[in-house]
Structure 1
Amino acid sequence: MDMRALRYFVEVVRQNGFRRASATLHVTQPAISRAIGQLEEEFELNFLVREPRGVCLTPEGDVLYRRASLILQQADSLASELRDLRSMVSGTLRVGLPPMTGSTFFGDVITEFRRQYPGVQLQIIEYGSNQFAGALSDGHVEIAAAMLPIEGEGFLTQTFARERLALLCSRDHRLAARKKVTLRELSDETFVAFTSDFKVNNLIDRLCNQEGFEPSVSGRSSHLDLLVSMVTSGMGVALLPVTVCRGIRSSRLRVVTVIDPVISFDQALVRHRDTYLSRSARAWIEIASEVLGFHVDPVFVA
């Protein structure tokens, strides 16, 4: 069994297509197709069905995907552990950060990490919090930052901050002059929000439902800049972390505190319990704790 072919297969499934997998793997589409074809010939089975919008797994392909993901995760852990025995801190560290708050918390962490460990190739991979569990389980990232709670078993978490949501609106909005607003007062508002792979949506929807309404969403984006532009244009209001709102410098926008209820959640570093924690990942955790000011639980790095 060719490990390279397994890696190509898993990436095609993860990216839902040969073209996107080709871009992330930096391998031509024909080479990927050929490797997966040889894999199918070896087992005399079909694993993928090409569709207009991507690919679909056959029952046999579903089994291969689950098993191959575990095999690749273990192979990557083995390679990391062997490299660590040969050197101090080197190699590649893949860190998953949420687009919503990644730069807010980890800009200085990245700067300090690069200063102290220039020999490590740092790859920052952006996902919505709902995608991190799969990326960690597959070994696509070694450590991630995500909104708690994390679904699924086998994960260790280290809380580093507690976030609170505030209302972002245009300066001409009816609530712009207010200092505080209750969530129920937003029942008739039109919202702009992050895409469905962001866990914060689940929190907002749940609390709005508790207040007796379902938020009306006029637009979604995975990019903070686009959401801010939507709010500025008057397309709708947004509920965003206070730390994010503080970083927005615009005279055309206003930030209003949301009370009753206060919408808050914990942010944490997350890693898979069964994955070897490389020295570069340990260095990342240590620097993050120094920059962000939290104490590392020994269980998290055991």
Structure 2
Amino acid sequence: MASVDDQYGAILRAILEHGDVRTERTGVGTRSFFGVTARFDLSNGEVPVVSGKRVAWKLAVKEMLWFLTGSTNIRPLVTSKVGIWTDWPLARYRAETGTDIDQTEFERKIVADEAFAARWGELGPVYGKQWRRWDDGKGGVIDQVATVIRLLREAPTSRRILFHGWNVADLPEMALPPCHMVYQFFVRDGKLSCLLFQRSADHFLGTPFNWVGASALMLMLAQQAGLTPGELIWNGGDVHLYLNHVEQAHELLSRTPRPAPRLRLIRHAASIDDYRIEDFELTGYDPHPAIKADVAV
């Protein structure tokens, strides 16, 4: 199986060489390539963390833990010094108030003022809401993640072990519709594999985060179900490179890949709701320096 950097780089080259130049909602423009697959074997402890640039793996894991809480407000993230979702509520705050506040001050107010966070830190019914509190239309909610864990324990050969976030009725209220949409699971010989479909992937900034987050999720679900991690199979739909990331992409491709690190859980959590960032240990990660690139909002 090809290494994480080889697979990541191959997709990046395909975008650069064959991607369709497009005007899209952010106005930045992209090169977009449609339909790619990457496969990673997690059974030996190795995880797909790109080495061609430093990936803030703890931020990716914290984001996944936040999704699993069911929260849709950035306050818990900002309190944990994770600002990757701040751009959307900050842009809304600036537009609606006419205040040219910078991100640091906005995040300070989010942390310090619970009422301010409740008003301006909401993202709408994004990932966590759909994963843990999907409205059933009858006045109740469905916890999709809890259902997955139950099926992994009780019916591991089921073809219905999956969860997703594409709730059509809720899309207009979301700050950003779900990009990583569907997680389906498969058990064989005591190993848990995951097939992840991602409809839209910012390959320079987003894909490395999504691979780490999905790997962390697999470790948690496998532990809760008494299984060991197997394969992560990632399918990307519109996989793109923003036009202001092209120079950075070439810089990354010029670097020599380094060995994949290993990620493990150092504690057996009581439930899927009991994990903390301190439970994850990454070893052997020796990446090249970070490469600065702006997020398109």
Larger Rg: 1
TM-score using structure 2 length? 0.25
